Each structure stands twice: as structure tokens, then as C-alpha cells.
Amino acid sequence: MLAVGLVAAALGAPPAGAVQLPADEYEEVDVQMLDNDYIPQTLTLDAGTNVVWTNDGRTEHNVIPDDSDAGWKSNTIKPDKTYDHLFDQPGVYGYFCSFHGAPKRGMYGTVIVKNADGTVPKAAKERAPKPRVNGKPRVLRVAEGQRIQKAVDKAAPGDMVLIEPGVYEEAVTVTTDRLVLRGLDRNKVILDGGYTLDNGVKVLDADGVAVENMTARRYTRNGFFWTGVTGYRGSYLTTTRTGDYGVYAFDSTDGIFEHSFASGSPDAGYYIGQCNPCNAVIRDVFAEWNGLGYSGTNASGNLYVIDSVWTKNRAGIVPNSGDGELLAPQHDAVFAGNLVIDNNNDKTPAIDAAVLGSYNGIIAAGANGNLITKNRVIDHEYVGIGALPNPDKTFWSSNDNTFTDNVVEGSGLADLGTLGGDRNCFAGNTFETSRPANIEQVYPCPNAVPAPQDQLPPDPFLADKPPSVDYRKAKTPKPPKLPGMRNPAKARPRSAVDIVIAVDVDAVELPDENAIARFKR
């Protein structure tokens, strides 16, 4: 939205070539920051326009110019806060969020300031992608004491970077398609952010990248992060004590997270957001001591979360709709074969949404058209499995969800329950308590009836709960020693290309209660 703004004091004398304005006025343009987009991404302006960035997302962002000598940049911008800069000289000004992007990658934007005659300046030519020298994939080895980033920068599409055991104090950015980043020992190849670096591995607009068989710890943002890609895979990964998410895919499709462990994140251990269709699967993973085990804001279509263990988080599995990302509302995902047990841990790091969602197993929060089936859900202070609204800036109701063949026990408010929403249905579940009572008769599948009066009470969900614990200080247990991939030194590199997600839900089995035993320390 274009507006006229007023400044409180006179502007200083502009540099040579700048457009001079009256001292008390300028044009102003707003840029909305969501997770993880600038909207609009490109602005074309007259000289003398003030750009105001407002963080309407759920996490922190910043505004960093591509030109490190530009003389302007923001500090960290918290949700609901702003940053502004006056563009008074013609030119093309690229910028990015250093947490979630890089120049022309991931979360980035461009401000084009027109010349005095109204023409548009030309941008600098972009560098062509590096060609492969001999046409054959290579293996680039990294020994302890060397830098992973140096090998990644040398790699061409299809190459593998093979990392020897050691502690690597760096944040790795991948911009090369089809790269395979592999550790030789899942438990001994450790990327350590030291609570100062942002992401262990950040994959920006690079399709088909696979990251496998390593650990990331103590990063201020994420352990392993893909954004803006088609084709991704994270296998045999361990993350702990990260400031946002553990294993994270955003605005990405055709992906797999598998055989992985995530703990100590205030948001979610595993997160897939803003995709439709996602064409993705999370399978055989473990999440503990996070705000949420799984969260998927506006993640819809051919998405499966299956055969995994979720325990000692504030809440277990929470698909949801939200205003902080594009592509709302969330719809059409499958959650099957999961063991969801004792997610009542209020000593974890936690974002506000995780505090609000505490003490629940599987909650469809403003989520729609999902199938929740054959999960075993045990011992939750509030609700085992339920459909609830998500009161974001928009009030998102949960509608058209199907809950079948789950086994739920030990819930404080109700094993199964709803609060508002339409056409949610329940059938074939094993449970003791529900709100409304006799929920499978009140909301039968496939023809659920309008809501009765004895649904879940809202008061417990809105009540004050213990606040977040700093992720650096929480008493998050050390990860157990976990099995890595077989023969990592010789196994053929496998990029994340031509991924087809086709899960036979009928073949997914109800998990045994003892499935958690293999993760005990």
C-alpha cells in the first residue's frame, strides 16, 4: 500500500545525485514479512520512497543488503516489529534474510529505484552456474579441521561431500543442485553452532539435495533447513538445542525426512510448511523435548507423517493453518501409525503456539480434510486426539477431518474430542472418554452431524501455562547413540531426484506401545 508519511525532523542533506524532497514528507511503501517471504518480493519505486518492512510472521527475520558496503541493514526484527529505510538514489538494491536466505536465494527481495527520467536501472549480471569439469560425479572428502563449506562451494551438481568424524563449527549453505552431503558417522560427525551460528545446513533453492548421517547442535535457528526446492531428503539426522526447528522444509515439494531424531527446539522438531501439494513423507523419526513434535503450517496435499515416535514434547503432532505463511488453510494430509505418548513436558523451550497447545497428543488446529488413523496415543493431560480451532489473526476452524482406528487412553479431558468445526467424523477408534460423549454416534463417518453442546471446554486451552525455557538452558537430555546409514563410506550417492510419494495407508500398522524402547538411553 502506497501512502504519504511524515518525518519528525528534517532530512539531512542528500548525497550528490539524490532526489531532494521537502524536509517533512516522503512516499512510503510497505513490505510484509511472512515465514519465509517478503511480500511483494520486488518493488519498483520513485527515488525518495521510504520502505517499511513489517514482520507479520511467527519467527524472527532481518533485512540485509546484498552489497555488504551499502551502509544500511536491520537488526533482528521480532514478530510485529518493523524496520524502514529511505531509498533516495536510483539503483537496484537486492536484500535477503540472513536466517532464511542469501542473495537471490531463499527469502530475498529487490527494490528497484527508477532513474529521474522514469526508466528502470539495469541490474548487475548474475554469475552463470559453474559447469562440471569432466561430466562425472565426484566425491569431495572433508577431514576434521577442514571446512565443509569449502568443499560444498567446489562441488558441482551430483557430487557428494563426504565428511569424516569431527566437530565442525560452521554454518553450511548449499546452492548446488543434486548435492549429497554425507557424514561417515552419524554420532561423530557433528556440526556445532555454538549458539552463535544460524543454521547447521541451509539449502537455498537447490533442487534434489540430500543431507544424511550427521548431527547438528546449538544453532540459533535450525539444524537442517531446505527452502524453495523441488526434491529434498534428510536421512539419519540428529538435531538438538536449536533455536527454531530441528529438521525443516519450507516452500518445498517432493521430499523425505526419515530415520532421524530431533530434540530441544522451541517450535517443532520436524516441520514442513507452505506447500500444496507437498508430495512429502516423514517416516521413522523420533521427537522429544520440543515445543511441538511435528508442526505443519499450511502444508497440504499428498503429505504423510507415519510410523514415528513423539514423546515428552509440549504437544505431539499439530497440523495447522496460520496467517504467518502463505497457502492457508492446511488440508489433506495423513497421520498414521504413530506412537504419541506423554507429551506433557512443560520444561521445554516453546514458542507461544506450543505453550498454547501443551498437554495434547494429536491436534488438528484449524486443519482440514486430514486422515488421522491407526495411531496409538497414550497419557495426555488434556486431549489424546482432537479437532480444535487455531485463533490466529484469522480464526481457523478444523473441518472435514476423519479419525479412524486409533487407540487412545489415559487422557485428562477426553481421549477424543472436538471444539467447533464442521463435518469431523470418528469411527473404529478404541477409547474410554470423549467430548462430546458417544462421539462416534454423534459424529459418525462419513456423515457427521452438527456440533452438540458438550464439546471440549475452551478454558483449559486458554489457561496460563509454564512459559518457554531458553533452548540453551533447558535440561534437554543428550541424544542417545543412534544407528546410522549402512556403509556410508561406499554406499552410492543418491540425490533427492525423481521422488514419488505413494504411501499405502492400508499397509500402515498400529504401533506397539514398546516402539519407544529402541530410543531409550
Residue 470 has pLDDT above 90, yes or no: yes
- Mean pLDDT, rounded, for 327-338: 99
What is the three-class DSSP state of 318?
Answer: strand
Q: Which domain covers residue 268, as residue numbers? A: 139-462
pLDDT computed for residue 20 by the predictor:
41
> Does one domain contain both 93 and 230?
no
Neighbours of 123 (CB within 10 A): 13
* SS3 state of residue 77: strand
Radius of gyration over every alpha carbon of the chain, rounded to an integer in angstroms = 24
Q: Are 47 and 68 in contact (CB under 8 A)?
A: no
The mean pLDDT of 145-166, rounded to a whole number, is: 98
**For 146-156, what is the mean pLDDT?**
98
Q: So what's the pLDDT on residue 266?
A: 99
In a domain, 503, yes or no: no
Of the pLDDT bands very low, low, confident and very high (cuts 50, 70, 90), residue 88 is very high
CA pair distance 327, 300, nearest whole angstrom: 9
Domain identity same for 202 and 286: yes
Which of these ranges, 123-132, 272-281, 471-480, has the smallest mean pLDDT? 123-132
Distance CA 336, CA 74 (A): 43
Same domain, 157 and 99: no
From 433, 462, 491, give the residue that closes a domain.
462
Confidence class for position 481, pLDDT limits 50, 70, 90: confident
Q: Which of 408, 443, 462 is the last residue of a domain?
A: 462
Select from 383, 388, 362 the least CA-distant residue to 374.
362
pLDDT at 79 over 70: yes
Q: What is the pLDDT of residue 515?
A: 84
**Strand 180-183 relative to strand 160-163: parallel, antiparallel, unpaired?**
parallel
Q: Is a pLDDT exceeding 50 seen at residue 11?
A: no
Indicate if 150 and 103 belong to the same structural domain: no
**pLDDT higher than threshold 70 for residue 134:** no
Kindly state whether residue 131 falls inside one of the protein's structural domains.
Answer: no
Q: What is the pLDDT of residue 454?
A: 87
Q: Are residues 99 and 164 in the same domain?
A: no
Question: 140 pLDDT exceeds 50?
Answer: yes
Given this model, what pLDDT does residue 129 score?
54
Longest dimension (CA), the chain: 77
Looking at residues 324-338, what average pLDDT do you find?
98
Examine the domain organization and report whether 438 and 292 are in the same domain. yes
User: By percentage, how much of the chain surpasses pLDDT 70?
Assistant: 93
CA atoms of 368 and 321, how far apart (whole Å):
9
Whole-angstrom CA distances from 123 to 90, 120, 127 are 11, 9, 12
pLDDT digits (tens, 9 = 90+) for 333-367: 999 999 999 999 999 999 999 999 999 999 999 99
Model confidence pLDDT, tens digit, residues 375-413: 999 999 999 999 999 999 999 999 999 999 999 999 999
**CATH code for the domain in which residue 17 is found:** 2.60.40.420
**Residues 158 and 107 grouped into a single domain:** no
Residue 130 forms part of a structural domain: no
- Annotate 288-301 with DSSP letters as a single string: ESSSEEEEEETB-S
On whether residue 467 sits in a domain, the answer given is no
Answer whether residue 129 is part of any domain. Answer: no
Q: Which three cell numbers stand for residue 484?
A: 546410522
The partner residues of 273 in beta bridges, in order of sequence, read: 250
Whether residue 184 is found in the same domain as residue 309:
yes
- pLDDT over 90 at 55, yes or no: yes
For residue 449, the model assigns a pLDDT of: 76
Question: Is residue 376 in a domain?
Answer: yes
Final residue in a domain of this structure, among 439, 462, 485: 462
Q: Give me the pLDDT at residue 17, please.
A: 39
**Phi then psi for 23, rounded to 5 degrees?**
-70, -10
**What is the CATH classification number for the domain harbouring 255?**
2.160.20
Contacts of residue 379, defined as CB under 8 A and 6 or more positions apart, other chains included, come to 341, 342, 344, 409, 410, 411
Distances (CA, A) of 461 to 142, 359, 418: 49, 9, 12
Count of domains forming the chain: 2
If asked whether residues 93 and 219 sit together in one domain, one would say: no
Examine the pLDDT at 22 and tell me if it is beyond 50: no
Residues 225, 203: contact at Cβ < 8 Å? yes
- Same structural domain, 320 and 432: yes
Whole-number pLDDT of residue 123: 72
**Phi–psi pair at 163, nearest 5 degrees:** -110, 125
Examine the domain organization and report whether 170 and 270 are in the same domain: yes
**Spatial CA neighbour of 519 closest among 263, 160, 269:** 263
Query: Is 358 in contact with 394 (CB distance < 8 Å)?
Result: no
Are 145 and 93 in a shared domain?
A: no
pTM for the predicted model, two decimal places:
0.91
The band of 125, judged by pLDDT with boundaries at 50, 70 and 90, is low
Provide the 3-class DSSP secondary structure of residue 20: coil
What are the respective helix, strand and coil percentages of the chain, to the nearest 5?
Answer: 5, 45, 50
Residue 5 confidence (pLDDT): 28
pLDDT in tens, 298-311: 999 999 999 999 99
pLDDT computed for residue 131 by the predictor: 56
In a domain, 320, yes or no: yes
Is 480 among the domain residues? no
Hey, is 385 helix, strand or coil? strand
